[in-house]
Structure 1
């Protein structure tokens, strides 16, 4: 006849079982995440490179360059069936330079990602019930990829740099100039009241990339005018051309509230805050004569640094830490409706 285990041994056995179960669960969690980076292998296939500009995917790009483990980027279409996600950039689809692989077998668990960083995306009616995720600058996208952002410093800088040696009142770099654009009308009126130095192919004064920021740094203000006025559409014109160059941005694009969601209110000047371009020009000129008020537009540098997103590989790698949050079953029945912000 088998003797029952003593009570103390039974309790000890139960405790050991609970500890083992807890350690197993913790190990499983660590299998998925380590310092915010996904550890399980996720393969992202980029079906075509945006605007035809290719980058090298040799080696573990996500881990080596961005510290994101378990995230594998590929652009070999023959490996489509092995991909967890397939990313399609809209511009090439819009101009029919590329097409969706509707004739190829698509694994049931594979997610298709619609990618666009533009405000105008053409007719998307043909893409009903095809895409599972959206990737855009818009905060309502499944994967939000801004052109840039401000990163909080670990410690505020008491000796932050205020740009000096200004020689021009206002600067603007523009190549795609169209008379029908709102920014063109504002520029034409503004230049009648204040000196605007214009660069770019529009005036046959192109700037090499190496000369872009040094040139703008000589200006008190930079016209960070978006070519399309659309909600949350804030491009490198603010982050790089103005903030990094050291010129106060005069912005035209989405409402002030959208800018204030990503930048301090006193770091930019919004065109819509003025009743006329004459009033705007008068205010800008008054700041050039008042160093204390002008320098106040740079106090954000005490607490923030600028982060630019320019490499498509970084944008793709940043999908992986979000992967576990994506809904298992989601599909956009009408992609065109979603993009009408």
Structure 2
């Protein structure tokens, strides 16, 4: 056998061994994909610079996929991840209170986006003028935010037969759960007028009749109507008072907040009563009395349950994961030169 033949055999053997090693490695990856699921597979990394209100939640595993079926989206909360993060999220409350600060002393990686997040109405967001030309993204309940994070939403429901009688176990005409009672609020003025016309059962810290989380919905379920009154009148500001308290509690919501057109966009048709629909609170009170006595007409306010169910949002991780759904559709070089103006335009 000549030297050339020997070299060729060595070369073929070497190639065979390399191919065999490659094949075995590939098979191992296919059999145990999680073991090889490294950071290189993440498309977007979201850094939570600090947890809103200190509500620290677990980020173990592939949170966005495991909980919300959002792929290639990693949530982290270690400051050491700052240089590699695609988005850094800052919750407004801690910034305006001064308990947290922006990391403006750190060199900001090119292309990294800073997100301003608030689920509060403009009246409670404080002075945002100092944040001019800092943020690239807004996360808010507002429909015109870069990432919209509503308090609740409708999902299609499985067709059901007859709905349960919404008159069952009703013992109160109108009820209201309130802790933050302020005389200058519009909702306070409407309440004071309404209680002079119809009985209103009030719960919460203000009335010194607080309800535990276990007692909240059962209590509301015994009321024909629930005052889903927002503490601020602002664009799209529709909170858990509608989605959770009223809809989940099984009472017809009487709403006070943004215009009725905002409610019509997100809420089921003929599922609520807006204060602005009436010429006066007197007319509203009279309508509620008549409606509670008309079983057929009252039940029509629950027909939406045949087609829809309500999902209530409240997990900060879900809000963060939603960033990944919008990330590639947002302008790369967007900067809010006047965040205050955007926020107040509500």
Check whether the contact 2:90–2:117 (CA below 8 A) recurs between aligned residues. Answer: yes
What TM-score results when the alignment is normalised by the length of structure 1?
A: 0.86
Task: Report the Cα offset of residue 262 of structure 1.
Answer: 0.5
Q: In the aligned structure 2, how far is the partner of 1:214 from the partner of 1:234?
A: 22
Structure-1 residue corresponding to 2:202 = 198
Check whether the contact 1:148–1:308 (CA below 8 A) recurs between aligned residues. Answer: yes
List per-residue Cα deviations over 1:47-105 (Å, max 9, x = no partner): 11111211111221111111122111111112111111000000111111111000011
List per-residue Cα deviations over 1:263-288 (Å, max 9, x = no partner): 13310001111121111111001111
Specify which of 174, 186, 193 is matched with residue 182 of structure 1. 186
Structure-2 residue corresponding to 1:209 = 213
Specify which of 148, 156, 160 is matched with residue 159 of structure 2. 156
Secondary structure of 1:223's counterpart equals strand
List per-residue Cα deviations over 1:13-62 (Å, max 9, x = no partner): xxxxxxxxxxxxxxxxxxxxxxxxxx743110111111121111122111
Structure 1 segments (4+ residues) deviating >6 Å = none
Specify which of 126, 133, 142 is matched with residue 129 of structure 1. 133
Specify which of 31, 51, 54 is matched with residue 53 of structure 2. 51
Q: In the aligned structure 2, how far is the partner of 1:79 from the partner of 1:119?
A: 31
Structure-2 residue corresponding to 1:246 = 250
After superposition, the Cα gap between the structure-2 partners of 1:99 and 1:189, relative to the gap in structure 1 and judged at 3 Å, is: same
Structure-2 residue corresponding to 1:308 = 312
Larger Rg: 2
Task: Report the Cα offset of residue 156 of structure 1.
Answer: 3.4
1:3-14 alignment, distance < 5 Å: none
Check whether the contact 2:42–2:74 (CA below 8 A) recurs between aligned residues. Answer: no
Unaligned runs of 5+ in 1: 1-38
Specify which of 163, 170, 179 is matched with residue 166 of structure 1. 170
Q: Give the number of equivalent residue pairs.
A: 302
Structure-1 residue corresponding to 2:77 = 75
Check whether the contact 2:138–2:147 (CA below 8 A) recurs between aligned residues. Answer: yes
C-alpha RMSD of the superposition: 1.2
1:85-100 alignment, distance < 5 Å: 85-100=87-102
Q: In the aligned structure 2, how far is the partner of 1:189 from the partner of 1:322?
A: 44
Task: Report the Cα offset of residue 183 of structure 1.
Answer: 0.4
Secondary structure of 1:288's counterpart equals helix
